[in-house]
Structure 1
């Protein structure tokens, strides 16, 4: 009797274990089936996306908006803590390098000299200089996405503007002779007051430009290349030209002195008594030596 009960209990336990295993197996197979279906659906979706991407490729959109401000903790214009430096140039024909036989201008010369002086990698992102550009022409360009993107990426921004506002380019010398000419510096049919007529409005626009550039990239070191008088050897233009240039540079300093990351690089004294040495044949733009001297001043202003 005892053996029968024991056998019966064992049989019941085996039957219960079998039912449990069978029940568990059903759930396992159900789970496996669900996972298989999900994997198949994912595979089909992935294949469909790949076919769509091949037939209709979509590149990532380039964000041309000005980058956000530089990370906190980095002092504006502080280039000493950076391992690599990126420079951008914007402005008129001087920014472009017109008159330099090598095409380097003060932009590439400054980049080379800064790399040599610091031992760092210095890259020129872009030169946005345009021949004949005035303050009136530069202001709207500062609103363009491409311009804002380049300036926003730079650690150093070199700016040259104003010569065409004051001197109307080399065309101002039409009808006049330089101090080395036969007329001994007599300017024909030229009113020196023309230099001063556009000065008030142009000065305001210069200040707006400086403020806008800083607003685009408050973390960059902004260097404004001051004006010189290319017609200091023309009798009728020497005094008026010197006065206009002096007022212009003073207007720039009104803004520049407000910010630690802005610098004016003076050039008036470089050319004042060295026009024949540092001006190109158009008697307006610097030559190779002139740009070299400006670049030296720029690097000195950064270090």
Structure 2
């Protein structure tokens, strides 16, 4: 409103500077000089602006009062866009090389730091501390052993959010041990054991932290772009992911994130040069899928309102 008022005043000043010529009759040409309206002096212009100052101050104070009302109603810190009771989040990432971020040429710890930066934009979160405990080659039996030894007790107790990637290296162990004699029955035999270990991992986590949301991330077939044909690995990976998803439904504060479909080809250049791990573009996709799934899982309710969405 005040901008409109100021514009009108400026237009009025400019109009006052225009030249006005006295009208002449059609049959007579006057030799008199046209009359020109006097321009306002600098002193008069200052006077006009001085007169406007109280109005501008009043408009400014009205805006400030409006901000105060909005802040009170919605409990927002207007200067930062954060909720007044926004809290810090401790984010613990467990798992294998996907959690560690191997292949990420931007050195951003893969999907984890991307998720951290995205969450820090949300009004309910003041800051996010990321503790990435991913390790190359880690299998479910190795993580379970570490948890039983109390290796991550302190981190688990204070975690507000936990993400986990497991399964890829359990499958690869079978591949390495039976490279020239692989049969699907070998993977079918190992799958129940893997799920039993995964279930025990969840139990160990819940002993130390009963409430924090746990995001269980699936894995993909890394041979999909090496072998340009359907391989026995497609159904194997799908079956293992399906079992992880089923397990996630046994915990009311857990949800499963599928990523298998994100890496079926390299047409969009989502693989690292090792053709095994994602590159930066691949981890971007993972982070986007993670955020989308967290919202669909209603993680805000899981976290008792701590992890909320929106910029």
Mapped to 1, the partners of 2:205 and 2:229 lie a distance apart of 32
- Cα separation, partners in 2 of 1:246 and 1:294, compared to 1, 3 Å: same
**Counterpart residue number, 2:288:** 296
Query: How has the CA–CA distance of structure 1 residues 262 and 213 changed in structure 2, closer, same or farther, with 3 Å as cutoff?
Result: same
* Partner-residue secondary structure (3-state), 1:205: helix
Inter-partner Cα distance in structure 1 for 2:208 and 2:232: 35
Cα distance between partner residues in 2 of 1:220 and 1:237:
41
| Residue 200 (structure 1) shift | 3.0
Q: 2:209 aligns with which of 208, 212, 217?
A: 217
Residue of 149, 152, 156 corresponding to 1:147 = 152
Q: How far did 1:268 drift?
A: 0.8
For 2:119 and 2:128, locate their aligned partners in 1 and report how far apart those are by CA, in whole Å. 10
Paired residue for 2:87?
Answer: 83
Residues 203 and 230 of structure 1: is their aligned pair in 2 closer, same or farther, counting only changes over 3 Å?
same
Q: The residue matched to 1:116 in structure 2 has which SS?
A: coil
Q: Distance in 2 between matches of 1:275 and 1:230?
A: 14
CA distance in 1, matches of 2:267, 2:96: 20
Distance 1:235 1:146, change over 3 A: closer
Structure 1 residues 85-124: aligned runs within 5 Å: 85-104=89-108, 105-118=110-123, 120-124=125-129
CA distance, structure 2, for counterparts of residue 274 and residue 242 of structure 1: 16
Q: After TM superposition, give the deviation of residue 94 of structure 1 in Å.
A: 0.9
Structure 2 partner of 1:258: 250
User: What CA deviation, in whole Å up to 9, does each residue of 1:249-299 have, x standing for no partner?
Assistant: 122122211222101111011112347621111222111111111111122
Whole-Å Cα distance in 2 between the matches of residues 159 and 237 of structure 1? 30
Alignment of 1:192-211 (within 5 A): 193=184, 195-196=187-188, 198-211=190-203
Name the CA shift for 1:142/1:85 in 2 (closer, same or farther; >3 Å): same
1:80-131 deviation line (CA, Å, top 9, x unaligned): 9862221011111111111111222111111111212446233234111111
CA distance in 1, matches of 2:173, 2:275: 13
Quote the offset at 1:207 in angstroms.
Answer: 2.2
Q: Under a length normalisation based on structure 1, what TM-score does the superposition of the two structures give?
A: 0.61
| Aligned 8 A contact 2:148 2:204 in 1 | no
TM-score of the superposed pair, with normalisation by structure 2: 0.60
Alignment root-mean-square deviation, CA: 2.8
Q: Greater relative contact order: 1 or 2 (C-alpha under 8 angstroms, separation 6 or more)?
A: 1
Aligned counterpart in structure 1 of residue 134 of structure 2, from 117, 129, 138: 129
Aligned to 2:171: 166
**Bigger CA drift: 222-231 or 265-274?**
265-274
Per the TM alignment, residue 196 of structure 1 is displaced from its structure 2 partner at its CA by 4.5
In 1, Cα distance between equivalents of 2:193 and 2:246: 15
Q: Which structure has greater helix proportion?
A: 1
Structure with the greater alpha carbon radius of gyration: 1
Q: Structure 1 regions of 5+ residues with no counterpart?
A: 1-79, 176-188
Structure 2 distance, partners of 1:247, 1:211, is 22
Q: SS of 1:86's equivalent?
A: strand
Q: Secondary structure at the residue paired with 1:145?
A: coil
User: How many residues align structurally?
Assistant: 209
Alignment of 1:231-270 (within 5 A): 231-235=223-227, 238-270=230-262
